């Protein structure tokens, strides 16, 4: 196991290896100096390597989701710069897909129509839509439910619909905001396997926001640990797993070391958050 400070990681990476980058990003809500002004995030520096699986863990309210919003182009940094594929992020960039914690499936559309929604909007021809939707629906194990409405599915299956909807758009950067937060532990492990399979299949860069240390340790190439608000990275951990990993690595001795290390880093920050709230 190697634990490398983020600054060192960034300094040893070749420039063209950067897929997305945050430099000195802060996010402040409210007017500076006013009593309701909240410094939510940063300053944050982050270099996402092309094709890596990067997870972010941190205490509640540390700005994890704000960080994702900045990368998704849903929020502008108060200070600093955000880039995706060498271009400044201004609005939602093409090639970025997001899966949220909340159920974002469209209840008025069937599973297949949900998955096809973005493709049809993008003007992709009907045959190609059918091909890609069939593939994504099959890939996520939803083939038997293609004609079902989200209300007929379990929470885990609805989340799979949302992942399939993101997958068909063939994003190069997939941002996941605690996508399994509402699911039970067993389902989360299995969904983690599917996510790893999807990551290998698409070769996309993945950024996962999670509060589950075991999830981060199991899924990621690197895990960034954030401090209590205003969130900054206090550590970045290289997990050293093979690309072909799956949820069975939870029985690997190194898995315990990784989660133990993450908790060691996070404990003081979580206590700080608890005392402040």
Partner 1 sequence: MTREGWIRLLVIAAAVGALEIACRTGWIPMTVVLPPSAMATSLWDILVSGTHWNDILVSLRSVVAAAVIAVVLGFLVGAVIHAAPVVRGAVEPLLASYYAVPTFMFYPVFIILFGVGPGAIIAIAVLLAIVSMISATLVGLDRIPTVLGKTARIMRLGPVERALEISLPAAMPYLFTGIKLSVAYAFIGVIASEFILSGAGMGYAIAYAYNNFNNREMYGLMLLIVLVVTVVNTALDTVDRRLQARLRR
x-marked contacts with partner 1 along 15-54 as a string, rule CB under 8 A? ----------------------------------------
Among 38, 106, 234, 272, binds partner 1 (CB under 8 A): 106
- Does 137 participate in binding partner 1 (rule CB under 8 A)? no
Candidate list 91, 144, 203, 244; residue touching partner 1; CB under 8 A:
91
Instruction: Print burial letters for 136-165: b (CB count within 10 Å at least 16), e (below 16).
Output: bbebbebeebbeebbeebeebbbbbbbbbb
| CA gap 57, 255 in Å, rounded | 16
For residue 165, give every residue at least 6 positions away whose Cβ sits within 8 Å of its Cβ, in sequence order, or none.
Answer: 105, 114, 115, 117, 118, 136
Could you say whether residue 87 binds partner 1 (CB under 8 A)?
no
Q: What pairs with residue 138 in β-bridges?
A: none
Site for partner 1 in 144-183 (CB under 8 A): 149-151, 158
Q: Do the beta carbons of residue 270 and residue 231 sit within 8 Å?
A: no
Question: Does position 100 bind partner 1 by CB under 8 A?
Answer: yes
Check if the beta carbon of residue 84 is closer than 8 Å to that of residue 93: yes
Which of 118, 134, 181, 193 is in the footprint of partner 1 by CB under 8 A?
118
Considering the complex, what minimum distance in angstroms separates the CB of residue 118 from partner 1?
A: 5
By the criterion CB under 8 A, which residues form the site for partner 1?
72, 74, 91-92, 94, 96-98, 100, 102-104, 106-108, 117-118, 121, 149-151, 158
């Amino acid at each position: 196991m190697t634990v490398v400070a983020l600054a060192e990681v960034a300094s040893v990476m070749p420039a063209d290896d950067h897929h997305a980058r945050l430099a000195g990003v802060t996010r402040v809500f409210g007017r500076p100096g006013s009593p309701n002004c909240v410094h939510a995030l940063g300053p944050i520096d982050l270099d996402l390597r092309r094709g890596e699986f990067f997870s972010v863990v941190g205490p509640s309210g540390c700005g994890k989701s704000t960080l994702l919003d900045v990368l998704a182009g849903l929020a502008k940094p108060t200070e600093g710069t955000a880039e995706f594929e060498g271009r400044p992020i201004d609005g939602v960039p093409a090639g970025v897909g997001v899966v949220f914690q909340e159920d974002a499936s469209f209840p008025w559309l069937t599973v297949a129509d949900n998955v096809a929604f973005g493709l049809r909007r993008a003007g992709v021809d009907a045959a190609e839509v059918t091909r890609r939707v069939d593939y994504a629906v099959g890939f996520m194990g939803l083939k038997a439910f293609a004609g079902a409405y989200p209300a007929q599915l379990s929470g885990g299956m609805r989340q799979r619909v949302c992942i399939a909807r993101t997958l068909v758009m063939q994003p190069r950067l997939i941002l996941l905001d605690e996508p399994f937060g509402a699911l039970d532990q067993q389902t989360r492990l299995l969904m983690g396997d599917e996510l790893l399979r999807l990551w290998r299949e698409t070769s996309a860069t993945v950024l996962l926001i999670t509060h589950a240390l075991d999830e981060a340790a199991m899924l990621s190439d690197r895990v960034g640990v954030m401090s209590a608000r205003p969130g900054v990275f206090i550590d970045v951990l290289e997990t050293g797993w093979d690309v072909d990993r799956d949820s069975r690595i939870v029985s690997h001795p190194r898995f315990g070391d990784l989660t133990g290390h993450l908790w060691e880093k996070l404990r003081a920050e979580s206590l700080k958050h608890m005392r402040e709230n």
